[in-house]
Amino acid sequence: MKKSPIDARLPEGMDPLKDGRCCDLCGGRSFRRLHAWPVGDRWNPAAIPFAVWLCECGLVFLHPVPTAGQLPDRGDWWSANRKEFRRRRWFKKRWGKVRQMLIGTAKDRLLAATRKVMPSGRLLDVGCGDGKMMRLAGASYQCVGLEPSAAAAAIVRERGFSVIENTLEDAPIEPSSFDVVLMDSIIEHVHSPMLVLAKVNRILRVGGVVVLLTPKFGGPAYRMHKAGWNGFRHGYHTFLFTGETLGRYLEQNGFEVLRRPRRDRMLDDILILWGRKTRELAPSR
């Protein structure tokens, strides 16, 4: 991939090369800028400009990453001030109800597929929100939530579930203490997927399963909307993946990428991979 020089009009601090950044997946430093959004742009909720970049290995990442203080309500996803534009909202709502009647909700389908590879055990729901998934999963698993939002964690506790109010990176979790780690719309928010998946490896038992659901970069919606693609969740999503790049992350962190279940089809805008832990990582990881 040929390096593209930074646009001279962009403010200081927007060039990952000048900032000493290396690719989280391959360690390389050959990037090109895909899209940039200045302060005040309808897609930019932050107090700074930012851009998304493509590494030659295929990984897409945000740079610079706004701090919590540079985002509405300190970056809390439960903020009513977070900008979010949804196209054809009425159609999606109606179509969602039809799909729910025919094949169940997306959460129902995700759980059904997960039960096929790990029918029971302890489940950690990372970014559990208000606990909806835990209510569904409770029939099969002993559930624990992990949620950094104080507002969401309070709702989970009111509903009677155990919840760790922290991020996955900082949470004190016993090694080999879970059979399933569910990360529904989480991996695209972290500062280093490599470090996060290394920790997931540590807290899963050998044979345990991690479930990763994330927007799929390069799908039909991105090809149609480009810089206005909702999957960027502008300023909030720090990394975006294809099936290939996310699979490489799993393999490098001691997981076998399961061929079934798997959702990575040509017309998908959502990517879902299941990975089974096959080995422990070296302590240095």
| pLDDT > 70 in the chain, percent | 85
Task: Choose among 84, 193, 172, 183: nearest CA to 133.
Answer: 183
Same domain assignment for residues 208 and 258: yes
- Is residue 93 assigned to a domain? no
144 Cβ partners below 8 Å, 6+ apart? 122, 123, 124, 125, 161, 162, 163, 164, 178
Say what the pLDDT of residue 14 is: 87
Mark 207-218 as b/e (b = at least 16 C-beta within 10 Å). ebbbbbbbbbbb
How many domains is the chain partitioned into structurally? 2
Residue 150 lies in a domain: yes
Average pLDDT value for residue range 17-25: 95
Q: What's the confidence (pLDDT) of residue 64?
A: 97
Question: What span, in angstroms and rounded, lies between the C-alpha atoms of 48 and 70?
Answer: 7
259 and 149 in one domain?
Answer: yes
Q: Does the pLDDT at position 264 exceed 90?
A: yes
224 within domain boundaries: no
Residue 279 pLDDT > 70: yes
- Top pLDDT among 202 and 267 is at 202
Query: Does residue 56 belong to any structural domain of this protein?
Result: yes
Greatest Cα pair distance, the chain, in angstroms, is 56
pLDDT in tens, 212-229: 999 999 999 999 999 999
Is the model's pLDDT at 90 over the cut of 60? no
Residues 121 and 252 in one domain: yes
Instruction: Let me know: does 230 contact 83? Beta carbons within 8 Å.
Output: no
pLDDT tens, position by position, 52-87: 999 999 999 999 999 999 999 887 766 666 566 666
The SS3 assignment for 191 reads coil
Read off φ and ψ for residue 34, nearest 5 degrees: -90, -50
Residue type, 279: R
Q: How many CB atoms lie within 10 A of CB 187?
A: 27
Same domain, 190 and 241: yes
Q: Are residues 194 and 128 in the same domain?
A: yes
pLDDT digits (tens, 9 = 90+) for 160-180: 999 999 999 999 999 999 999
Residue 86 lies in a domain: no
pLDDT grade for 92, boundaries at 50, 70 and 90:
low
Average pLDDT, the chain: 90
* Residue 6 binned pLDDT confidence (cut-offs 50, 70, 90): very low
Please give the pLDDT value at position 248. 98
pTM for the predicted model, two decimal places: 0.89
SS3 216: strand
Mean pLDDT of 236-265: 97
Q: Which of 5-9, 67-71, 81-85, 240-244 is the least confident region?
A: 5-9
- Let me know: does 246 contact 218? Beta carbons within 8 Å: no
Extract the runs of DSSP E, i.e. beta strands, from 128-269: 141-146, 162-164, 178-184, 204-215, 239-240, 255-263
CA 276, CA 109: separation in Å to the nearest integer? 19
* Pair type for strands 141-146 and 162-164: parallel
Residue 161 lies in a domain: yes
> In whole angstroms, what separates CA 71 from the centre of its chain?
18
Q: Which domain holds residue 184?
A: 104-215+237-277
Structure-model confidence comparison of residues 33 and 2, the more confident one = 33
Distances (CA, A) of 116 to 112, 120, 131, 258: 7, 10, 22, 12
Q: Is the pLDDT of residue 284 over 80?
A: no
